[in-house]
Structure 1
Amino acid sequence: MSVDIRTPYGVVRAVDKVSFQARRGETLALLGESGCGKSMTATAVVGLLEPVADVTEGAVRITGADGTATDLRTASAKRRRDLAGKELAIVFQDALTALNPVYTVGTQLAEPFRIHRGLSRKAARKEAIELMRRVGIPEPETRVDSYPHQFSGGMRQRLLIAIGVALSPAVLLADEPTTALDVTVQAQIMSLLKDLREERDMAVVLITHDLALVFEQADRVVVMYAGNVVEQGLVEEVFGAPKHPYTAGLLESVPVHAERGAELKSIGGSPPELAAIPAGCVYQDRCPIVRDRCREERPAAREVAPGHLSACHFPDEVKNR
């Protein structure tokens, strides 16, 4: 799938032929620096791109419980509405702006049940209370009539997850669900997502730049850079033996064995501007093993081990600490 953005200076490509699969019962992580296209990919999948952005090519296929695959790009507006919440849902990173401040949380939690299941107001309210209890909101019978601003950040994130999983979707996209939360609350939120994934046999697509979170929570990882997928595979394989210099650089920047006074390692330079993506490898300006071929030819993703793909001309030369 590719996504273009119209700017005052011309059209730029924000997502370039990104391809991956999310399977039921597993967590797939989209990993990369800010601005690499992770959230743009997610909003394109669920059809929530800003008016200046367009999906220009590719397909977004979702397979229902009956085995029937639907391409969300070509589906009618009615079909997309039918699938929203029931087959595909998204949890945004800022719960305070994602929740409507003028409606009670009970009203917002009950809405999916009223729209998609035709429940009465009373029955939908009962479902909302049970959902609040399931995601760990204390005293849901009394708090169901509270407004979003009356909850803490962690509780609001739980409410957002509750709305996302209300109808047991096949795929749940979680866009940095632990941003701005303290470490203890982060652990609680991720534990909740894991329990819900196993309980409802969902595919969870976790969007993050936190390597530790990926290692602890994900089964497979897709590493993105400048709108491109540069590496993907099982987390233990990609983190244990990275085959792209960008992935190796990310792992090396984590201060695992840091000592007081020691220099912290980082990836030099900055990601390229979207309007100035180089013709060859997108990572060439920051790559420690760059060659002339890298500046002339864009490397295609190829299998370097079973299920492990890398978009690098020289994957065997990538060094891991």
Structure 2
Amino acid sequence: MTTTAVPSPPRADTPALDVEGLCVDLTTHAGRVRAVDGVSFSVHRGRTLALLGESGCGKSMTALSVVGLLDPAADVTGGAIRVRGNDTLRMSPTERRKLAGPVLSIVFQDALTALNPVQPVGRQIGEPFRIHQGLSRRQAQEKAIELMTRVGIPEPRQRARAYPHQFSGGMRQRLLIAMAVALNPDVLIADEPTTALDTTVQAQIMRLLRDLQDERDMAVVLITHDLAVVAQRADDVVVMYAGTVVENGPVRDVFADPRHPYTRGLLDSVPEHAVRGRPLPAVPGSPPELSAVPSGCVFQDRCPLVHERCIQERPPLRPLGDKRSAACHISEELPHA
């Protein structure tokens, strides 16, 4: 079997992943709706960018668009997704498949669903080496055992013959991570990688991802709604709401002084801000249905500072200096934290 060619690595100043104006439409019972609307961000090797927001804001849809795994009901209708400087949306399906593993990889939140239940885990982890590097089954098995050792699977040679259901949730997540990093990708997308794991195991998984990123100089896109994980793990953050980007910038700056009411609402909802005897703080209301996103500011129905202009005109994502942007008509008027 011959190895497959992938685009050459880019110059050092080229982002590992550059998403520009991404739009995704979704077919629903109510007709076609816009699930992702003009999303842009970039991340360089060695850095972590977090996509942050409530469930249904478009984070996972964005991630699936990047790796080319959208549901048949969804279509990318605009924008560009560049890896190694090449727009994957202009590639043929065969060319895009060549990127899966050596260039782009993803860790899903549901390991039991993502793993094949009827194949031993060693064979699954070794498969990328057979497809992309032409290794024999025995050679691929040895590579799988090496990876299982690296991600902390005990007795890897024996357990390589086991099936996914024979592992705990945390161990299955480690197996998924082993598969994702097998071919040293430029970009690793981690979609809620610690969902349904207890706190101790969550910390272990996030530490493993950090160590592997440092070893392999990967760019990481972290999909999450966990503010603590973003604060601890990410360099930059993109805050999404109703399929749009409402604020972005370095995590330290955005969390210290949010310039969008939604970002401020999320940060104020952290339990440490709670007062004994009073209800937990929360952003009032819920995100709009995709079929009923307002024509003005997407956050207007939940915003405590809504103006007439917010109802009539959608605010663009405007630069605020220091690599920050916010989509708010009154961002500069908000009181500073």
Q: TM-score range by the shorter chain?
A: over 0.9
What's the counterpart of residue 272 of structure 1? 288
What's the counterpart of residue 197 of structure 1? 213
What's the counterpart of residue 296 of structure 1? 312
* Structure 1 residue 319, shift from structure 2 partner: 4.0
CA contact (8 A) 2:273 2:281 kept: no
User: Secondary structure of the residue that 1:58 maps to in structure 2?
Assistant: strand
State yes or no: 1:248 paired with 2:293. no
State yes or no: 1:133 paired with 2:142. no
Question: How far, CA to CA, are the matches of 2:170 and 2:336 in structure 1?
Answer: 36
What's the counterpart of residue 9 of structure 1? 30
State yes or no: 1:206 paired with 2:227. no
What's the counterpart of residue 153 of structure 1? 169
* Structure 1 residue 257, shift from structure 2 partner: 4.1
* Structure 1 residue 263, shift from structure 2 partner: 2.8
What's the counterpart of residue 66 of structure 1? none
CA contact (8 A) 2:50 2:236 kept: yes
What's the counterpart of residue 120 of structure 1? 136
Q: TM-score, normalised by structure 1?
A: 0.97
Structure 1 unaligned spans of 5+ = 64-68
User: Secondary structure of the residue that 2:189 maps to in structure 1?
Assistant: strand
Question: How far, CA to CA, are the matches of 2:281 and 2:30 in structure 1?
Answer: 35
* Structure 1 residue 10, shift from structure 2 partner: 1.4
Amino acid at match of 2:148: M
Give CA-to-partner distance per residue, 1:36-75, whole Å, 9 cap, x none.
Answer: 0000001111111111110000010001xxxxx2211111
What's the counterpart of residue 283 of structure 1? 299
CA contact (8 A) 1:243 1:315 kept: yes
RMSD: 1.0
User: Secondary structure of the residue that 2:184 maps to in structure 1?
Assistant: coil
* Structure 1 residue 318, shift from structure 2 partner: 2.8
Q: TM-score, normalised by structure 2?
A: 0.92
Question: How far, CA to CA, are the matches of 1:149 and 1:10 in structure 2?
Answer: 39
* Structure 1 residue 320, shift from structure 2 partner: 5.9
Q: How many residues align?
A: 316
Identity %: 66
CA contact (8 A) 1:248 1:320 kept: no
User: Secondary structure of the residue that 2:298 maps to in structure 1?
Assistant: coil
Give CA-to-partner distance per residue, 1:287-315, whole Å, 9 cap, x none.
Answer: 11110110111111111121011000111
Amino acid at match of 2:62: T
Structure 2 unaligned spans of 5+ = 1-21
